[in-house]
Structure 1
Amino acid sequence: MKSAASVLIVLLLSMTVANAQPCSIPDSFFADDTIVVCQGSTFQLNAPVVPGGNYSWSTAAASNSITVGFNGKYWLDIMAGGCSRSDTVTVLFNSFLLSPFVGDVKLCKGQPALPLQVTGQQIQWYADPIGGAPQSILPTPSTVDTGRATYWFTQTIRGCESPRVPVEVKVIDKPKFDLGEAFIIPCGAAGITLQVVPDGESTYIWSNGIHGVSMLAPGRGTYSIYAENMCGSFRDTVVAVECEDRCVQFPSAFTPNGDGKNDRYQPGVFCPVPQYKIVIYNRNGETVFRTTNPSAGWDGIFNGVQQPIGAYVYHAEFFDFILKQTFVRKGTITLVR
């Protein structure tokens, strides 16, 4: 038979079990242990709503949500219905978000271009450094003409967009320049400096091996410059004569003996001659040679017969390309064998 004390203990235990209620507080309050937030913003930590619950945050707040603006570890205690639970979360404001990796681009005028390639996550681009609507389709630069254009790119990581970084696109053309018309080197001068305007993209080399955009032309002759860049190459040539020169120089003798040296009477031509005529006469006044071609010369033969040694007379007219005037020259030629 049970004692009165035993009956009392059993009764109290039965009442405690009958009055116990399940805890209504969730085991965890936050979805992640660490939350990354974009720098320069704030973030609201929201805890579950527990009816009748008492909230105690590490910040001393007593509501179910708080707004945070700094890196840190935040914890919350909730008490309700005789039970309590705690949870902790770390909030990091991302101040180290890197912009995408970019590089400037150089293209050739008139050649097809591909869309710009930028390395990063969720790349977007803007037409301006500040403001404007983002575009996700990478731009294809125009190469219709030379010039520069700038595009601004960002990447987005965990919902945070990076600062904008520029990509400069430069469209260039193959080198092009003009050394001008033939020129005269003044008497007593050391020469004339030839120069072209550099385009900042090309390398230059002159016909005498000098590198650069200028060189000294010391005397009569033909000078040229060759330039090259990623888009192509170009060459230009100019003729120089000295102050006492004319475009056409007439020698005083020739030796048509078949030795391959000075076998024709042919004036030296140092620059373009758009108009030219020469007539050669023998001592009887007969015309033994006539031409309007400055590259042609007399071989000492007239009517199929080699002409005798001696003096011949020439009469020449030509337009001097350098001095821009017509000259008439007369003189004698000595035929020597």
Structure 2
Amino acid sequence: MRNILHYAFLFLTACIPSFLFSQQKECIKIDWSRHYGGTNQEIANDIQQTQDGGYIVAGFTRSVDFDVASNFGSADYWILKLDTAGQIEWEKTFGGTDFDIATSVVQTPDGGFAAAGGALSSNGQVNGSHGAEDVWVIKLDPSGNLQWQRAIGGFQNERAERIRNTSDGGFIVAGYSQSKDGDLTNNNGDFDYLMVKLNGSGNIEWQRSFGGSLADFGYDVRETSDGGFVMAGSTFSNNGDVGSNKGLYDYWLVKVDAGGSLLWEKSFGGSGEERAYSMITTADNGIAVAGSSTSSDDDLPGNNGSYDVWLMKTDAGGNLLWSKNFGGSSEDRAFSLGLTANQEFLLAGLSVSSNGDVSTNYGSKDAWLLKLDPDGNLLWEKNFGGTSEDRFYAILQTLDGGYVGAGLSASGDKDLDGNNGLQDLWVLRMGPDSLKFDLGADTSLCAGETLLLKVAQDSALYQWQDGSSNMDFTVSSPGTYWVEVNQEGCKTRDTINVNYIGDIPVQLGNDTVLCQGETLVLDTGIDGASYNWKNGTSAPTLPVQFPGTYWVEVTKDGCQFFDTIEVGFITVQLDLGKDTFLCQGQLLPLNVAQPDAAYRWQDGSTNPTYNIAESGLYWVEAGLGGCVKTDSIIVTFQTRPDTILADFAYICEDEGIWLDASQPAASYTWQDGSTNPKYKAVVPGKYSVEVTIHGCPFSDEVELRPCEECLYVPNVFSPNGDGINDLFQGFPGCEILNYRLLVFDRWGSLLFESFQPSSGWDGNFKGKKMDIGAYAFLIGFDYINNNKVKHQQRKGIVNLLR
């Protein structure tokens, strides 16, 4: 027996047609497409993603070759475990010699699997058959080995269409039944909805049948947030548990509590036929039901022809919220309803149409996939398959955001790379298309800049907002720019808004000239920016004190702006020099000539030169190019000091005399070459000194006379009344101060006392003439010598003659 896996890595790009050009479309590509089976017939009715990221598939096989290792009879349950790439990890068949079909599968919390469907067999692995076709539930371990099986039913026909895990660790099974014996206790006529609650070991906890006297087929069930269950399918009845019917078959929702007791039921549809095959509960506790419809009235918004895909949504109480139909003029059906992570709807089934909502058809029946937003609006649709019959019976979004559809294919071309027999079990994995590009975030450009938008894609066609078709576009003005890229039929659009920042004028001002000493503060006048000056500083202003070229670069909102200014300085050259001294008779010429300058002196004269011949404060104001500078000078003519040395002075034998020629800021040269301001003389004579003040020489001399010459005292006098030498007195040769004359006899008696040099002794004492003879005298006096007060005493003998 051959066990051959046929698969194809068809990296084909699928396109979502552009129904709504204002909305970004999702493009998908086929990651892989694999067909499984033998030379007879295989169909996948359900697929679920497993905990390891792979997949579990449930359906049936009628082959026993190629991918099918064994077969018990006509048709067997066929359970396949696939890895993430769709390769078979294991495959198992279950059943007996008759027709056994698996319709639903789940992975159980223990890592194993539970499958449900219908079994006509009553042998092989099917134990406990009740009659014709039974609901058959099997439990497998993680490797696909049978752990237990349960045949549920009565004498007539029952089939399970859905099995789901329940929150208590058990299972809820939905299908339909004709029996009211065996495991089943009730039937309202023909086929009824069948709901069976099993525990984790497959034992029946309760079972319920709902319906009317005609055929009612249950296809899907969901546990609700209140612990109860809601079941969806179709009803042809209008009695029994069915409150109403609007035409042929209607969608029928049945809500039960946790124990299976009926809470409410609602039918939906129009005057035609509606068949519900799949149901989900949404995050807002709503209920969405998918299937097909031929109606265009009542609960249906319209019909495109034959069977349309019909999706409706109700609230938790079964009240219709909205209703949407999709398709073309031929047959279009949905068999599976999925929900994405962001609450968008996936519808999978078949399409024969190639118009209306259907973009294309490869031939016969194609598998058809639709994606809707949470409000039921079509986002995109895409057909898959080949030129023969292909259809999806199951769809889901994978953990990584891709999509997996499962069903059957009789094709061996287009999206299929072959076929093993009549019909193969088919699994198609789809992922996001590589056709992704980004024009970038909305941006702002600087004046004069351009932006190159480039969206190069292999084998793509481009349409820009202006109709151009190059792979790139150069933006040079503000506006909204978009491009639609079509790569093998997949169209994707992106948009970018480009704003241009206006040219911000940086104005440092016109080139200018300043006067020396002035400061010019350069200010850009632009707030909220960064600044880069020529000298590297970054403050918004720059003080300028020197000539040169100054520039600044201002950056605001990512754009650079620039300005330059030339700054010159006018220098008025004016310097009268330092304050100075001149000697009498000298002349100081001041010359401040500078080309093109104008002058004004303190006396109003305007010549560039000025001669100074006398002491005073002199100033001049010079103007050049609007700049004015003033300078001044104090000129002092040095005059001869009023006194350098006295005309004469007295020198006594017992002491010298200091001659003082001191003058401010002067230098000295005495007659002997000494240079001190003072000179000590010890002998009478003439002394001279040259005093130089501020460069001007002045000479002077003094005569030093003997000390005796200051007061002459005679040693004889003759008081005889002849008017000659009649008095004994001192005769001053200089200015005398504090004068006192005392005369004594030889016995020391005081005969005479005088305090004025002009008052002398007349030779009498108390009116009596004194005898001729010698008398003693003592004279004390002060005198000024060389500007100093000196004291001197004289004593001696004076002779009195008559």
TM-score, normalised by the number of residues in structure 1: 0.43
Higher relative contact order (Cα pairs below 8 Å, separated by 6+ residues): 1
Give the strand-richer structure, 1 or 2: 2
Give the helix-richer structure, 1 or 2: 1
